[in-house]
Structures are given as structure tokens and as C-alpha cells.
Chain A
Amino acid sequence: MAKTRAIVITGNGTNCENEAAHACRLGGFDEVVIAHIAQILSGEIRLDDFQFLNLTGGFLDGDDLGSAKAQANRLKHAAVAGTGEKLVEQFTRFIGDGKLILGVCNGFQLMAKMGMLPGLDGAYLTQSVTLTHNDCGRFQDRWCWLKVDPASPSIYTRGLQALYLPVRHGEGKFLCDSPDTLERIQQEHLAVLAYSTPDCESPTMEFPLNPNGSQDGIAGICDPTGRLMGLMPHPEAFVHYTQHPRWTRETLPEEGDGLILFRNAAEYVRMNLC
């Protein structure tokens, strides 16, 4: 059987590559590669050799033109050396091959701004949603309760009802270009995660439970295939109980909530892509 292989792209301000790779390994991937964008643009590493792509947290280009904007532009226009191919073609082929992409925080912002999410009607390069400045006007590092939509097609959240994860962002407010887009996201159960009350029963707009003022409390969305997902909270930051803010006072399982997303991804790859 072929190996399950995950890739984490880094460079130009990506910060969470090591813990994302760690989560992939714990999640069960046979092989995990941290690839600097320079290695991809030089043709040394090809996305085609992997089944799971991690676009992880950080401050791509310093958020200078708005979070992830410059990287979205780079990925769309940069060419891979020696191939005559634009990098974006590797991305569309990756999606077309039925593979998995998980965007966390800055990676979610990148997917939104490249147009990869929500990917309605197979449009993976047309932007229709965005993530912008938190209503409070400040960067926030705090832990949030997340309600999972059990009817979502996301392959990452299978079997999950709720999650408790940290957010760490200044631009996490989810907005759609039109009420129609939002309606379709909700109708098709693409809003995988919503900031919620501590019982994880209902989405909330109340700060700081909802740290940024996202529409309908949306914290993460997926495409209609469920294979592409983006979320502002950091699943890779909670894979062991010692990362939980109250581990010294609560009895917690060894593994953190976030690890399940990576386990599900590895499981999906093993069953469907190997």
C-alpha cells in the first residue's frame, strides 16, 4: 500500500509549520514534509507527491496588504522553475485529484482569498468570502468553544460534536460577499464550526466567546466535497493535554481535541487516496 504523505508549506511568514507537522505525524501520516515555498517554486518539491496539504498559521508577508493577500497573489502568479507551469496549476490539480487541503488561521485566510473556499459549484479560484479585522480591533489569543455542524460534509470533523481550541488572530471576522453566499454555506452545511457558548449548543455573537464578530459565529468552513476546510482556531495547538489552559485543574484525556482533525485526515487518505 502507498504511504500517506502530508506536506506543510512554510516561508514568507508562516509560523506554525513545526507543530502542524507534529500534529500530522501524531495523526498517523506515514511521512510529513515541511516544504519551504522556495523549494516548491524551484520545482524541488511537487505537491503532486502528497495527499494532504497543510496551509498553516502565521503572518504571510506580515499581513501587509490584508492577511494572506500577498501570498494569494504570489501563488496565483508565480511560476514553478523549469516546468513552464504556474504554481496555481499544481493546486487545482491537487484539488481535482480529490486530495485534502486544511487551512488554519493564516492558511484559512489564504484559502478564502485565493477563492478555494467555499468552492461553491466547483469554483476554486473565485473569491466570495473573506476574513477581516476582528470587531474589537485587536489581535486576540484566547480559547474558544466551537460547535460542530454534524451534517457538514467535512471529512475532518467526522464524529465530532464540539471542540475547544485556541484562536490567535487579528483578522478572523468571517464575511461573505452576499447574503446568497452565506445562505448557501448554511444550507449546504459548509459552516463546519461556529464559536459558541461553553455548552457548545448554539453559535454566539457575544465577545469574547465569539472573538471577532464573524457572521453567524462562523469559525470554519469546508467546500461541498468536505475535503477542503479552513478554520481560524488552531487544531495543531491542542494535540496534548498540557496545551490546554486548565490542564492543571481538570481531568483531561491524553490527546487534545485538535488531533482528531489530523487523525480523520490520515484515515481518509488511507481509505481513499492510497
Chain B
Amino acid sequence: MANRVEVALKQSVRDARGRRVKREIEQFLHLPVAEVRTIDVYTVDALLSWEELDQAAAGPLCDPVIQERSIDRPIAADFDWIVEVGFRPGVTDNVGRTAREAIEYLTGRQFQQGEAVYTAVQYLITGTPSPLAGEAGTGQRQTVEGDGGLCRADLERIATGLLCNTLIQRFTILSTAEFAAQGGFPAVVPRVAENAGANGRSSVQEIDLEVSDEELIRISREGVLALTLEEMLIIQAHFRSDEVRAERAKVGLGSSPTDVELECLAQTWSEHCKHKIFSGTVQYEDEQGNSREIKSLFKSYIQQTTKDVRAKLGDRDFCLSVFKDNAGVIRFNDDWSLVFKVETHNSPSALDPYGGALTGIVGVNRDPFGTGMGARLIFNTDVFCFADPFYAKPLPSRLLHPRRIYEGVVEGVEHGGNKSGIPTVNGSLVFDDRFCGKPLVFCGTAGIMPSRINGAPSHDKSILPGDLIVMTGGRIGKDGIHGATFSSEELNENSPVTAVQIGDPITQKRMFDFLIRARDKGLYRFITDNGAGGLSSSIGEMCGEVGGCRMDLAKAPLKYPGLNPWEILISEAQERMSLAVPPEQIREFLTMAKSFGVEATVLGEFTDSGIFHMLYEERTVAWLPVSFMHEGLPPLQLPAKWTPPKQEEVKVEVKDNYTDVLKSLLGALNVCSKESVVRRYDHEVQGGSVVKPFTGVTNDGPSDAAVVRPLLDSFEGVVVAHGISPRYSDIDTYHMTANAIDEALRNYVAVGGSLELVAGLDNFCWCDPVLSEKTPDGAYKMAQLVRANEALYDVCLAYNLPLVSGKDSMKNDFYDGGIKISIPPTLLFSVIGKIEDARKAVTMDVKRPGDIVYLLGTTAAELGGSEYFALLGGVGNGVPLVDTTAAYSRYQAYHRALLAGVVASCHDLSDGGLAVAAAESAFAGGYGMTLDLARLLWKGDLAARNDATLLFSESASRLLVTVSPDKSDEFEAIMADTGCSAIGVVTLAAELTIAGVNGAVVVTSGLAELKEAWQATLREL
């Protein structure tokens, strides 16, 4: 029988978790609550003596200074309602796992098969003494005495709206009376029910593909295979081949594919894994009606960019490994190489924001760790795109409120990053209401590895036939089944719950601690990550390296019995790496794993048979030619037609004073301070922080980019920055892309990044661009993708930016049959590079009164897609155009000035234009600024030159710089002919004053007011 251990804070101790829930109930559900207190529940389902149980409760489970405990006796008292929230069967329960380990240490005995500890949390809710109407106007509230003015429906809202994600958690609500009558909650053991075949054994099904086309479509849809009819027909044809049938007969397989084979192909061929859109053949027609065929956007643009940039760089080329591994590798110095990858985890974050985002960050950690021979992880970056957290309109069912997504994602990445000991150094929050259909959760991780390990280049690796297939880390469960295929479809009402996983940073950390030491001892030959598609993908790809494999799925360690072989193969259960270990090293590898508390299992061996050969208890369950898996799919045919959209023009307001506009812009979601989020992320662990996310006299000005010293005994720094501007996609994705790249590079340059060693990384998040019934505007969306790729090539080539890695996520839509919500096409462009001497880094805060303020770059009437137009409720058409030639020479000159030590501060101009940048630099530094708009360099028709445009235009490639007067001559000499003008001065008075083109003051405000406007919006979130 299971026992319940309950642990509660002593009455005198502040319950921070309870208070937070109380605040959220009041703020988001508008229900009156007097108090919320919480109790931790451990359901121990194991054979323990009473003394052992008591010791466990008293020891590891309870902190005697602040907590009290009870066993099998409810501890809760003094509440109106109580809600207990626990996990559903099979959901990762990290705390339960740690409790189990603690009890094992205590008793000196391992738990038996099937024994476990499960956790739950109780929320004790006390309403307000007088039953005030919770919601005005409902009039129907059925509340009775003793319920604190809350009815059961209110509690349901609290449970489902805040406390519990019903996909992964269960909840029970009891009133005081019910709780008393029942004597508390019964012990709930959420063990996974065994659902394998009738005899309790795992089973393999054959799937008959000799059926009608309609039936093929049904098989794909109902199985969440995400295979098109065309793809199903290719599979059908493969299994019809006499040659294939003869070979299959030899291994005891019939002429129909097994579920293992079909699932494996579905994973391997999923959009998520195969990038069918980027490798498809596009028939592109431009606005003049000119047509051309593009064979693979990936090869034609992304790979071509890198190829051409590398050729241009010649012997200055610093790329070491691009596109072929889990992450890109570039040179850092003679002895060290840098590794970088950015991933998205959008679909899981839409369903379970916390688990999805946590898995996103710990998942991308495995990419650099699984690159080359494995890299030590040095920082994380994250960029989130959400709808307005204060969104107040109705949402389609199944979509979570943006606020919950915000909370969950922020917390998931917080736990994933902080617990892994990797500083989160750079990021953004971007808001657009179309992201309510799918939030975008970009997570990036960089690593560093010695350029040579055991005498060989660390970025190369190989597998030899006969090497053993080894899986390390977590066990396999049903979590994350169909993650790859489900994220290759739009989110819909039937999206599978099993696609959600919860990461466990500590299991992964233990594994990394072990593997990095195994790496240095040369105990493995090849390492890769188990991500989307699980073993089918990792072993499938490794197979491609060596030519085949033979693996017994029954050997894989499981979280609980009853998984079918296909589930074992494709489960995306987290914290696993796959390795090729030479047979002569296996003993030492396994022994070392054991001593580090890491599970490592030999599953089979690599071969050169040409066959991906899976067994289950030595019986063949999958036999697929590697060539068919990896090359069996013909390219998609994708129509694309570019018709430039014509947005309604927006009229610039003509006003005497724009101070209020500036304050509104500072408070806009895309501009305002994100400090309440950023402070929750450890950005300093590992000790290498040089330019932090916040800077300035009171540590609260927004830095443009991060500088980190990964080697503590060196001053060489890594610089990382990013650019993202989805709003410009409403006008032209070419310019959206160009601006994102330019923003990334100018942020990078601003803090001191060198143009000699900087690489780019592209993350495309698109709405489905494949023309179909569901997507009638597919040809336009595909053309948007083509134009984005054209810009990627053009701008990266001009900026000498090789692309070293990237990812695309192409199905960011919500569709429930009626409502369709598509995200704006979004490119996140990240750059990583070097600053030779981190002590030369520059921050964005103004430093001294009297310093001269320069604006680098020209301003034009480019308010299309701007924050200012958004404030006016429109989009417009005059999107900022990037002049790469002018910008690049400006950035080069600025970098020389920075190295010469004449730059006091530098801040990039982006959302909100000059006015916002000036306000931020001024209040960050604590000194005022007087600026003169008449002194800005203008480009284009003078008729369009007016105060509002000069203040808020988002013209690209501009930097706001301050320079000490005694260095201004030198600065101006260095910047000569690059578009640099002195536009004002830093003042002791803490005020921002901007004179308009006619000399009259058009903006004037105390810095405190501006800062308050900037900080207020998200302060309480």
C-alpha cells in the first residue's frame, strides 16, 4: 500500500509559492482570495518499514527548521477549498525521482521494479470572509456559507486556469466539508497501466498498405504520421518491390511494413527532421511575372551563402564544421573552437508551456554537446514570441491564454538554464497577437571545445563497423511520442498529449559531467543527441555515417514496462545521447558511467550492411535500407508567386510635442524593459560575464549584446547578439530578413564584436507555405520564404557572415477547422563572434556629462512596420532598406574607433528609432541629453523630413554613440565618410530634450519619468 507523506510550512513561515498563486488568482481570474497556502505531498509506493518512512519524512523530505510533516494523516486545516494537483501517469516527475534516490541512500536499498515516489501539491484556498461578488454581473453565483465566497466553478477556473495543465496533470477539488467527510485525499498512485498485447507482452503489428488512397491517408492521419499521400504511395511502392520482399522474407518479415518501420519512416521523413520545404523544388514567379525554378532553398541560398563567404574570406576563413553536425563549429583561437546552435520548441510550448520550454532549452544544450567530440556549454540565449499577455479577446478552445504561455515558457527556460549551470546571456521578448496561434520559443546554446582532443581535430568524428551502439542518460517512456511528426502539422484540437515531455536538467547534467570526462579519455568515437524522432533519428543518422546497424530494442532501458517496439524507437524521452563506442573501450566506458550514476546501455552495433536493422528480443521488427530512409523521398514541388502587398498608408501625426508618444513607445511591449524576466535567469554563472543583459548606473539599462569570457585566464571574449523583426514581414520578407541580419550585426558591433571573426545562424519560423486546401495562400507564403532566402544570401555575403547552422520550423499555424491563425513569417538571426580583448567592450549607457552625442548612419522616411505606426494602429509601406555597403564600412570604422578607446557608449537604434534609443542611453547612464533633429543626416525626399519621422523612423544600420570631447577629433577622423553627425550633448541635468527641425523643443522629459514608462509595463509579471 502506498503511504502519503505531507510536508507543510510552519504557520509562522511565509509561503512564497502560495502568495504567488494568490496574486495570480486575483490578477488574472479576478477572484477575491484572502490566502493561499501550499502543502507538498509525497506518495511513497514502496516497501518500507514505518521507521524508514518516518526517517525519510523527517530527513530528506522535510526541513525541520521551517516545515512540519505527517504520514497518512492529512495536515491541511483552516481553508475553504483545497485543490490537489499531481501528475498523470507516465509524466516525468523530477522531484519524485529525487525523493526516491534520497530514500535509497537512507535505507541503503534500491527500489524494486514498479516502486516509486510520486509528488503532488495541495493548494489551501481561503476566500474573503464576506461573500462579495467575485465577478461583477454574473448574478448567478451559488455560494454558501463557509465557502469563502467562492463556488465550485471558481475553483475549477483556478485549477484549470492556473494550477494545473490538464494535459499532464490531474486535480481534485474538495470543500472543507468534503475534505472532513472523506478524511482528506486518498493516496493516488499514477502508475502507467500496461497496455501491451493481451498477454502482457509487447507486440508488433503489420500495416497493410495494399489499400485505397483514402485508406492510406486515414492511416497517416490517425497514426499522427504526418505523411502525405504521395509519401504513403512511395512507401507502398517500396514494399511492393520483389527484391525487397525477397530480402525481407530472409529475416522473417512479411510484405507489409511493420508499425516499427512505418513509424520510423514517418519520423525520418517528417518536415521536422527532413526539412522537405527547404529541400523542395520551388517554381518561383516574381512580381513582374518572371519565373524560375529553385532546386532546394537550403542548397541554393543557405549553403551557397556559406560557400561563397568562405571563398571570399580565403585564408581568413574560420569555419570548421558547418551544417553537417548538430551545431556549427568555428575557430575561437589556435587552441579552442566555438560551437553554436539555436533551436525552436514551438508546438510543445503551445500545449505545455513549462515542459515545452524546459525541454527546448535542455534539448538545445545537447546539440553543442553532441557536436564533434562534444563541447562544454558556455551560454544560452533565448528569444520568445508571444501574443499580448494582457490579451482580452476570446480565444479558440485548446489555445492557452498568452499570459499562461508567457509564465510557463519563462519559468521552463529559467529552470532549464539555471539548473544546468549555463548562463543565459542574451535574448528578447517579441509580441504580436498572431503568436497566440503558436508561440515561438527559440533557445540557443554555445559551447567551447579544445580544437584537438587526443591528437585529432575535435570537430570531426567517425564510426567504424563493429562499434557498439550505446545510449546514455534517461530512460525511455511514452513521453514525446510523435513530437517530430506532430510539430510537422498545424496545431489542432487533436494534437497528441504524448508529444509533451518534461525535461530533467539534473539527469542531463550528470550525464554531461560523465561524458565530458569520457571524451577526454577517448572512450567513444562518435556522439550525437537524441532529440526529435528519438533513437529512430539518432541511430538512423549515425547509420548514414557508417552504412548500417543492428540493434535490439528490447535492450533499451524503460521507465515502465509495456512499451511497444515502435514506441521505444521513436520516443523522445529526454536527456539521452547516442554514442558509438569501440568494443575495446566499452568496459571502461560502462564502469565509468556507473560510478558517475549515469545509465549506459549497449543496444547493438554499427554495421556496413546498408540496412537499418531493428530487432526485438532477437526477432527482426524493422529492416529498412539506409538509402531508402535517407534518399527515398523525391523533392516536394512548391509553387511560389510574389505579389507585393499594399498596406494602407499611415499618416504621420504632426504635433508640437512628441513626449507622450515617446512615453507610449517606451511602454510598448516590444520596447519596454524585460528586467522582471531577465533577473530570473542566471546570466553570470561560470564567471565569464563581461557585458551583462543590464548595464548602467543602476544596473537597469538594456545591453545590445553579450560579451562572455569562456576561458577565465584569458581576456579573449565571445560576443553574441541577435536580430528579429517579424512585423516587417507584413510589407516584404526580403526586408524583414535584411533588417534582422543588420540588427544582429549592429548589436554585435556596438559592444565591440570583431568583423574579422563573426558567423551567423538562421532560424526560420514560418506559417505553412505549402499550397493546399487548408492553405490557399500557400504560393504567397512560399514566395515570402524565397524572398527571405534571397535577402539572407545578399546581406550575409555583403557582411562576410558565413551561416554555420540553423533550423526551420515551417508549420506555425493554428487551425481548428474554422479559425486559422498564422504567425507572421519570422527569422531569428543570431551572430556569434569574437572580441580580441574583452576589456575594450563598450556598453550602451552614457558615461559623462559633456560627452558629444553622435548618430552614425542616415535616417530616411522608413516608418513602415515600425513601432510608431503600430502605435497609430497601422503598418504602412516604407519598410527600412538596408544599405549593406555603407553599413559595413560604418561598422568597420566604428570598430576601429572602439579599439582606439575613443567610444564612451554605443547603443543600437531599432524599435522606436532615435527617440527610444536616446532615452534608454540617457536613463541607463543617469545623465540627460540634448539633441537637435536638424543635425541628423537625411536620405531621400526632403518633403518627407519631419520631426516624427526623425524621432521614430527605424532606418537600419544606425548607432547612437557618445564620445568624450577630448577624443571627438580622433573619433570624427576615424568615422570620416561613413555617415556620422554630431547631434547633441550629454548633460548633467537628468532630462532628455530634443529640438525639432525648426528649433522648437519637441521632446522634453525628466529621465525618471521616461524610465518609469519603460519599466512599468511588465514589472509585475
Contacts and interface: CB of A to CB of B under 8 A. Distances in A.
A147 interface: no
B418 interface: yes
Which of B66, B95, B420, B595 has the largest count of A CB atoms less than 10 A from its CB? Answer: B66
A137 B506 contact: no
Interface string B575-605: 0000000000000000000011100000000
Given A10-B513, A135-B14, A62 B64 contact: no
B1001 to A, nearest CB: 28
Given A59-B419, A141-B682, A142-B679, A176 B14 contact: no
B63 A69 contact: yes
B680 A141 contact: yes
Interface stretch (B102-110, B151-159, B229-237, B910-918): B102-110
A141 to B, nearest CB: 5
Contact of A168 (B19, B59, B595, B685): B685
Which of A18, A73, A137, A143 has the largest count of B CB atoms less than 10 A from its CB? Answer: A73
A18 B105 CA distance: 28
B1008 interface: no
Which of B13, B14, B504 has the largest count of A CB atoms less than 10 A from its CB? Answer: B14
A174 to B, nearest CB: 10
A70 B679 contact: no
Contact of A15 (B414, B685, B842): B685
A132 B699 contact: no
Contacts of B19: 137
B361 to A, nearest CB: 14
Contact of B506 (A13, A38, A139, A176): A13
Contacts of A158: none
Nearest to B107: A77
Interface string B460-477: 000000000000000000
Contacts of B692: 245
A220 B715 CA distance: 31
B283 interface: no
B689 A243 contact: yes
Interface string B671-708: 00000001111111111111110111101000000000
A201 interface: no
A248 interface: yes
Nearest to A250: B697
B823 interface: no
A66 interface: yes
A58 B513 CA distance: 13
Which of B16, B505, B709, B715 has the largest count of A CB atoms less than 10 A from its CB? Answer: B16
B597 A62 contact: no
B324 interface: no
Given A19-B712, A36-B513, A129-B65, A249 B847 contact: yes
A42 B421 CA distance: 25
Contacts of A62: 94-95, 98, 419, 504-506
B63 A133 contact: no
Contacts of B509: 12-13
A132 B7 CA distance: 14
Nearest to A36: B513
B683 A141 contact: yes
A70 B419 CA distance: 15
Main secondary structure of the interface of A (DSSP, over half): mixed
A139 B414 contact: yes
A213 B66 CA distance: 15
B547 interface: no
A42 B685 CA distance: 28
Given A62-B419, A141-B681, A175 B504 contact: no
Contacts of B715: 242
A176 B63 CA distance: 12
Interface string A52-66: 000001110111111
Contacts of B845: 248-249
A16 B687 contact: yes
Contact of A139 (B418, B689, B699, B839): B418
A100 B416 CA distance: 33
B163 to A, nearest CB: 15
A82 to B, nearest CB: 12
B114 interface: no
A74 B104 CA distance: 9
A175 B506 contact: no
B839 A58 contact: no
B105 A77 contact: yes
Interface residues of B, number: 70
B1000 to A, nearest CB: 33
Contacts of A130: 63, 65-66
Contact of B695 (A12, A135, A139, A246): A246
B410 to A, nearest CB: 10
Nearest to B59: A73
Nearest to A73: B60
Interface in B478-511: 504-506, 509-510
B61 A65 contact: yes
B838 interface: yes
B101 to A, nearest CB: 7
B64 A11 contact: no
B60 A69 contact: yes
Contact of B98 (A22, A64, A72): A64
Interface in A51-100: 57-59, 61-66, 69-70, 72-74, 77-78
A255 B555 CA distance: 54
Given A137-B19, A137-B20, A248 B99 contact: no
B32 interface: no
A132 to B, nearest CB: 6
A236 B687 CA distance: 7
Contacts of A61: 98, 101, 506
A166 B694 CA distance: 13
A61 B694 CA distance: 30
A177 B98 contact: no
B105 A249 contact: no
B267 interface: no
Given A38-B595, A132-B66, A133-B16, A12 B684 contact: no
Interface in A21-65: 22, 36, 38, 41-42, 57-59, 61-65
Contacts of A57: 685
Which of B105, B843, B847, B925 has the largest count of A CB atoms less than 10 A from its CB? Answer: B105
B342 interface: no
B686 A19 contact: yes
A138 interface: yes
Nearest to A19: B687
A137 B98 contact: no
Contacts of B597: 12, 38
A70 to B, nearest CB: 5
A237 B108 CA distance: 38
B684 A243 contact: yes
B631 interface: no
Interface string A165-200: 010101000011100000000000000000000000
Which of A15, A176, A237 has the largest count of B CB atoms less than 10 A from its CB? Answer: A15
A237 B533 CA distance: 40
Interface string B411-447: 0001000111100000000000000000000000000
Given A11-B510, A13-B506, A62-B419, 15 more contacts: A11-B513, A12-B510, A22-B713, A42-B595, A57-B685, A59-B506, A62-B98, A62-B504, A64-B95, A70-B102, A74-B102, A137-B16, A142-B679, A239-B687, A248-B841
17 contacts: A11-B510, A13-B419, A16-B687, A19-B688, A41-B595, A59-B505, A62-B98, A63-B419, A69-B60, A73-B102, A77-B108, A78-B105, A139-B418, A143-B699, A175-B66, A239-B687, A246-B699
8 closest cross-chain pairs (CB), A and B: A15-B421, A19-B687, A64-B98, A130-B65, A73-B60, A133-B16, A137-B16, A59-B419
Interface of A: 10-16, 18-19, 22, 36, 38, 41-42, 57-59, 61-66, 69-70, 72-74, 77-78, 113, 127-130, 132-143, 166, 168, 170, 175-177, 213, 234, 236-237, 239, 242-243, 245-246, 248-249
